[in-house]
Chains A and B, each alone.
Chain A
C-alpha cells in the first residue's frame, strides 16, 4: 500500500515518518528540512505499508524546489492513501491544503499533529472536524508517538476515503466551473473534474494530464478573461475562498482559547525583536565558536592521548610485519587516518552538529534568518542563505546540499561559491587554530576571521552585481514558535549527519592516507618542492617545503596540520615559521576548496563544469590572496 505523508512545513511529517517506519528522517524546527523525499515500509497486521515522506509544502503549485518535489510526487505517483499531516496549532493553514487534497480525490486520513501543544491553547473538537471534512481525523503527537498506532490501524483497515466535502467558491468561479465541466473535452481522468479543473484555473500544470491541449487553452483563456473582469487573478479569488472556509471551520471546532503562557511567549519574542534579538544572536554564535575551540580542543587532546595509550607500538609492529619502507608508509597511513577521525570528526564536527541540532530543533534558525536578512540582501544573498552558511561552519558537504533552500540556481551557485571560499569548515577552523592560534597568538587568528568576513561581504556583492547581474529573491517565511530541543531528535540528527564520516569518508581517508604516505616515502610530493620553490618562497614567502602541505590540503584539509608537523619534524611550528608565515599559510588553507568530497558534492549539484570553475577560482583566489598578504607583510 503506497501512502504519502504530506503537510505544510514544520507540521511534523518527518517525526511522524520516523515513528511510523522506525527509519530516521531528519526533522528540524524550520521549514524545508526535507528536500528529497524518503521512503520507508513496514508490515503491520499483515499489510505492507510503504510510506513516502514528502517535503513540507504550503501549496500544490511547486514554487520552490522542495515544494516541486512534493507536488510532482503527489501528482505522478499512484498513492493509495494520503496522510495529511495537519498542525493542530495552525489549523487554518493546514485545512487549506487538506481541501485541495480532498478536491483532487485523494483518500485522506488527517493526522492532527502537535495536539499536545494545541491543547494548552484551546479545545479542538476532532470529532466535529471529522464530520465536517468527511475523512478520518486522528489526533497525534509525533514526537511521543501518541496516536500513531490509531493512524496505522486507520490505514490498514482501509478507512481512509475520498470525501464528498466541497469548498464553495464565489458565484463567478462556480459558474465558470459549471460551464467548463460540461465541455465534452473536460474528462475525469486520474483526478476528478472539479479538482483538476480548479488546479488548472490556478495556473497549476501538475494535475492537468487528463485534459487536451485545446481544453487547457480554453481554460487559460477563461482565466485571462477573469483577470480582465476583476482586475485580480482567479488564483487569488480561489484561495481567498479557501481561507475563508478554513477560518469558518477552525472557528467552529476550536473553543475555550486560553491566553498564551507569558514567559515562553516573551522569550520567543525576545529572540526575534531586533533590539534584543541581535545581542542574543551575537552571543549564540560567539558561544558556538568558543565551545568548538575550547571544548573541541579539550576533547581532541583527550581522545588522542587515549588513542595513543591504547595503540601503543601497534603500528610499529605492523610496519615490521609488512617490512621495509613500504611497511612503514602503510602503517603510518593507517595510523594517521584513525587520528584524523579522532582529532577532527569527533571533537569538532560532531560537537558542531550537536549544537546545530539544538538550534534547529528549538526553532532558533528562522530567527537568525530574519535578523540577518537585511544584511544578507546587502551582500546580494537571500536571508535563508544564513542556514547553509552556518551549516558550512561544520562541513561544506551538507552546506552545499542545503543551498537547495534557495529558489533559483543562480542564487544557489553564488551561495555555494561564498561557502567554499569564505566560510571556514570545522577542519579549516582546526587548521587556523592549530597553526596561527597556537603559535602566533589569538589576535592573528582573529585577523584571519576578519579577512574571511570581509571576503564574504565583498564576494557576495561582486558576484551578484557583475558576474550574475541578479537581485536575490525576497524573503517570505513562516516563523515557528521556540520550543525545547528534543534530546533524542538532536542526538539522532547528529548521528545521521556524522555517520557518513565513519562509513563513507573513513575508507576513502584510509586508502588516500596510505597512498599519500607512500608518495611521501618515495619522495614524489617532495619532488615538487624544488621546482615550485620560486612560487612558494618568492610569491608566498613560505618555506619551500610547505607546498607539500598545501597541495596535500587540497585533498585532505584536516591533515594539512599534521603534514606540516611531519614535514618539519617538529610539533612546535613557531620554531620553523614566523607568525607572518603561519598567517599566510592558514589564510590560504581557509580560503581554498575544503576537500575532495566538497568537490564531488559540488559537481553533483551544479555539474562538473561549474564545479571545476569554482574549484579553480577558489584555488587561484587563495594563492593570490596569500601572495598579496605576503607582499603587504614585506612592505610594512
Chain B
C-alpha cells in the first residue's frame, strides 16, 4: 500500500508530465506547497523506491510502477468527482477538494462500484479524461455494460441509465413517452424493414423507432433476476 503523501507526489508528477516533458523539482515543490529542498528529498526517496526516475539537469518522470499508481489515483479522483456531481448533485467548485481527500480512502472494489453507478464515464466533470480501468475486463463491466436500447436482445429487461442525446426536442419526446432514467423496461420485439422496436415500459407499451432507441442507454439486468421481474411488470 502506498502512503497518501506518496500518492499525492505521484499525482503531481503525473499532472506535470502530461505535456510530455519531465517535471522540474521546483514545479513539484510549488504544486505540493513545500520548499524545493523537501521536494527534492521526497523525489529522491521515491526514486529509491522505484516510483520515479530522476535525472540531474533533465528532471523527474514516472517509472512504469509509478505511472500505475498515479493513474489509479487519478482515476479514483475523477470517478469520485463524477459521483459527487452526478449522484449527489454537488456543484462545480465544491467537489474538487472533497475528491482530493476521498481518492486516497477508496478501495479498488468501491472504485469499481462507483464506476458502475456513474456508467463507466470517460471524462470527469471538468472534461479531463479519466484513465482507463486497469483491470479492463472487471466483472462489473462484463456483467453490466450499459448499452443502447436498440442493441438489446428481444425479451431482455433492463433499467434506463441515461439519454445520450443533445437535441432537446428528441429528449422531450423520449421523456414524454416515459423513457426516463431509473425506469425499467423490456425489449419485446423488433419489427422488420428497420421498423420500430416494441418496448414494454411499466404498464404501457411503446413503439420506438431505431434512431430513438439508439439514444436510450440501458443497464441490462442479470438474466435470472431479469426474467422474474419482467413477468411481474407485464401485469
Contacts and interface: CB of A to CB of B under 8 A. Distances in A.
Nearest to A378: B193
B198 A260 contact: no
A168 interface: no
A498 B168 CA distance: 41
A70 to B, nearest CB: 12
B209 A475 contact: yes
A62 to B, nearest CB: 9
Given A231-B125, A377-B195, 10 more contacts: A89-B203, A228-B92, A232-B86, A240-B181, A240-B182, A274-B192, A274-B195, A370-B196, A371-B191, A475-B212
Interface of A: 58-59, 61, 63, 67, 89-93, 96, 121-122, 170-173, 175, 203, 225, 228-233, 235-236, 239-240, 242-244, 247, 257-260, 272-274, 366, 369-375, 377-378, 383, 474-479
A93 B204 contact: yes
B91 A229 contact: yes
Highest count of chain B CB atoms <10 Å: which of A90, A230, A243, A369: A243
B77 to A, nearest CB: 17
A122 B86 contact: no
Given A93-B204, A243-B183, A373 B198 contact: no
Given A90-B202, A172-B90, A476 B191 contact: no
Contacts of B234: 260
Contact of A478 (B88, B182, B183, B204): B204
B24 interface: no
Nearest to B183: A243
A121 B234 CA distance: 11
B136 interface: no
Nearest to B118: A231
Highest count of chain A CB atoms <10 Å: which of B92, B191, B193: B191
Contacts of A477: 177, 196, 206-207
Given A61-B176, A274-B189, A370 B202 contact: no
Given A239-B180, A474-B212, A92 B202 contact: yes
Given A58-B177, A229-B125, A273-B189, A63 B89 contact: no
B192 to A, nearest CB: 5
Interface string B207-221: 111111000000000
A371 B190 CA distance: 10
Nearest to A61: B172
B174 interface: yes
B85 interface: yes
Contacts of B88: 171
B235 A260 contact: yes
Highest count of chain B CB atoms <10 Å: which of A63, A247, A383, A475: A475
A476 B178 contact: no
B183 A374 contact: no
Contacts of B46: none
Nearest to B82: A231
B207 A373 contact: yes
B195 A58 contact: no
A373 B195 contact: yes
Q: Which A-B residue pairs are the 6 nearest by beta carbons?
A: A374-B195, A374-B193, A172-B89, A474-B209, A58-B176, A171-B89
Contacts of A374: 191-196
B193 A370 contact: no
Contacts of B181: 236, 240
Contact of A121 (B91, B173, B204, B235): B235
Contacts of B177: 58, 476-478
Contacts of A257: 232, 235
B71 interface: no
26 contacts: A58-B178, A63-B173, A90-B203, A92-B178, A93-B178, A93-B203, A121-B235, A172-B90, A232-B163, A233-B171, A235-B171, A235-B175, A243-B178, A373-B196, A375-B193, A375-B195, A378-B193, A476-B177, A476-B208, A476-B209, A477-B177, A477-B196, A478-B206, A479-B198, A479-B205, A479-B206
Highest count of chain A CB atoms <10 Å: which of B123, B169, B183, B195: B195
Contacts of B180: 236, 239-240, 242-243
Contacts of B168: 203, 233, 235
B178 A59 contact: no
A120 to B, nearest CB: 11
